[in-house]
Amino acid sequence: DTGVSQNPRHKITKRGQNVTFRCDPISEHNRLYWYRQTLGQGPEFLTYFQNEAQLEKSRLLSDRFSAERPKGSFSTLEIQRTEQGDSAMYLCASSPRDRAYEQYFGPGTRLTVT
Amino acid sequence: GENVEQHPSTLSVQEGDSAVIKCTYSDSASNYFPWYKQELGKRPQLIIDIRSNVGEKKDQRIAVTLNKTAKHFSLHITETQPEDSAVYFCAASGIAGGGNKLTFGTGTQLKVEL
């Protein structure tokens, strides 16, 4: 499968714990996006990278959230001191250099905070 | 920022009938409008998109129309089939320059009944 991949697919954690998710974009896609989707809603933008540079962050991304894309390939999203309100599907998307507006999504990581 | 509204939230049609989903957007600078299909537990899948320099685009049984003056765009599915049953999301973004973050509507649950 040459699509966007995300790991883990499911994560259950206790409130206050830290979690880290990984996204592997489609090969040679230089833009990478993180979104959050709650039940019954459309995805909401969190942040995006062009190569290794993080160029935009949503106000939804509190200081407990941090994202990296150290070599311009895979990306990680870390949530520190998780809260029940962080429970959601975290989606990653990537887009190609020549069609930067087309975003292709991964299967997501479903986070449940107990 | 951009705000996208989507209607209806649920739509039930008989197999073979047409389905229409409508979205409005607020930011006149938005110029790219994709539609995603999301089946239960799966990733959002890009099914068709339109850029602001065209008014209509068609791909087999699906078509999208755009009215920039009124700031609304619609998805049309003809000859619906059971496999069309899913949640459909519209989105809007600006293409030029920096990030192309997508602002999504709240989704339409389409059910195609036999």
pLDDT, tens digit, 9 for 90 and up, residues A42-93: 999 999 999 999 998 998 888 999 999 998 899 999 999 999 999 999 999 9
Q: In what helix (H) or strand (E) does residue A60 lie, and over which residues does it extend?
A: none
Quick count: other Cβ atoms within 10 Å of Cβ B29? 12
Residue of A31, A37, A103 for testing the chain B interface, max B β-carbons within 10 Å: A103
Report yes or no: A48 and B99 within 8 Å, Cβ to Cβ: yes
Q: Is residue B66 within 8 Å of B55, Cβ to Cβ?
A: yes
Cβ atoms of B45 and B38 within 8 Å: the answer is yes
Q: Around Cβ A79, how many Cβ atoms within 10 Å?
A: 23
Q: Determine contact: B46 vs chain A, CB below 8 A.
A: yes
Q: Which of B99, B104, B106 sits opposite A48 (nearest CB)?
A: B99
| For testing contact with chain A, the best of B40, B93, B101 (most A CBs within 10 A) | B101
Tell me which residue in B6, B98, B101 faces A33 most closely, judged by beta carbons: B101
How do residues B51-107 score in pLDDT, each as one tens digit?
888 899 999 999 999 999 999 999 999 999 999 999 999 999 976 555 689 999 999
